[in-house]
Structure 1
Amino acid sequence: MTRYVALLRGVNVGSTRLAMADLRRLVTDLGHEDVKTYLQSGNVVFGSTVRDAERLAAGIERALADELGLSVPVLVRSARELAAVAGGNPYAEREDDATRLLVAFLATAPKRSTVDALTVPGGENVAFTVTGREVYLHYADGGYGRSKFTNAYLEKKLAVVATTRNWKSVRALAELAAG
């Protein structure tokens, strides 16, 4: 059995509302085990015998649509992948304020040309590192909430679906997934 984390994009931050009890039930009904949610923002940790993360994501997306009428992108990472993300943040050592650190999880690795063209909007002090299917973010002068370098900006510029989590959530999900 492999442990996974499913990250739902845009849940409980706009008009898309989803009770975590419904999410746990839905993932359990798909045959996954030891299902736990973290916070109210669409993070679910579970065990599965399925070894294909894309298939897992598609199954959860389909169940959300069929059972709850929600069209929500789902990104899945294995516990091992999430541990690597939590251990690989190039900004973690230089920033004590975890609210200034975030990770954008990408559905697929972006094209090199879009990564090379990615820039921070005018005058903002944001550092970023794109590594595979993740973008590490460091908001040196303040928080994510005041920035134009957002999840939507990354999706547009990189041409991939993304969902962003703060550093505290990334570490907590990695711990939950590790068991």
Structure 2
Amino acid sequence: MKYCAFLRGVNVKGTNMKMADVCQVFKEAGMQDVSSVLASGNIVFSSDKKAEELKKILEKAMSDHFSYEAFLFIKSHEETGIFWSSIPFEKKDDMHIYAFVGNPGVENILMAEFEAASKTEDEKAEITGGIFYWQVPKGNTLDSSFGKVLGKKSLKDQLTSRNINTFEKILKKMN
């Protein structure tokens, strides 16, 4: 089965790694057809194992190799497609749209945080099919009240986010 591993915290805040090295770790852990998409920690690969087992194997392999506490989320080809096909917002040149990959139920935590945060004009959030989507004006992602919430230590093992354009690139690589 084809999968994508979405790594959290790669190439930010001092956790720097080359995607070629990450791909090599995946290969050494027994994954096939391994390739990366962008430098933000998206690894496409094939395996006969189930996602839950792959998460444990790959987090340990990454943690051991790079000497950091690795967090990643595994989605099948079909599940990855849903992130792209379920976008609730119209794409606009002046907006970023993010989708959040995470543990079951994290979308409700994110919505509660979003509702409590101050917002810019046109900043929106919606849960569609159990996926939390966030629309924010370009240039405001890190400065927004909700953007600051995403850096909370209590959420670090719960989720990671990607711009929806990244999902399109991942799906092209998976096909």
- Unaligned stretches of 5+ in structure 1? none
Q: How high is the TM-score relative to the length of structure 2?
A: 0.85
Give the aligned residue type for 1:146.
D
- CA–CA separation in structure 1 for the residues paired with 2:83 and 2:112: 23
TM-score for both structures, normalised by structure 1: 0.83
Name the Cα RMSD after superposition. Answer: 2.6
How many Å separate the matches in 2 of 1:123 and 1:34?
42
Distance of 1:66 and 1:115 partners within structure 2: 30
Whole-Å separation in 2 of the counterparts to 1:34 and 1:89? 28
Deviation of 1:73 after TM superposition, in Å, equals 0.6
1:124 paired with 2:113, answer no
Cα displacement (A) at 1:101: 1.0
Task: State the match for 2:64 in structure 1.
Answer: 66
The aligned residue for residue 4 of structure 2 is: 5
3-state secondary structure, aligned to 1:103: strand
Aligned residues of 1:8 and 1:72 also touching (Cα < 8 A): yes
Distance in 2 (CA, whole Å) between partners of 1:64 and 1:111 is 26
Match of 2:170 in 1: 173
Question: Which residue of structure 1 aligns with residue 102 of structure 2?
Answer: 106
Unaligned runs of 5+ residues in structure 2 are: none
Are the aligned partners of 2:97 and 2:164 in contact in 1 as well (CA < 8 Å)?
A: yes
From the superposition, tell whether residues 98 and 164 of structure 1 become closer, same or farther in structure 2 (CA, over 3 Å): farther
SS at match of 2:145: coil
Local SS of the residue matching 2:106: coil
Letter in structure 1 aligned against 2:112: A
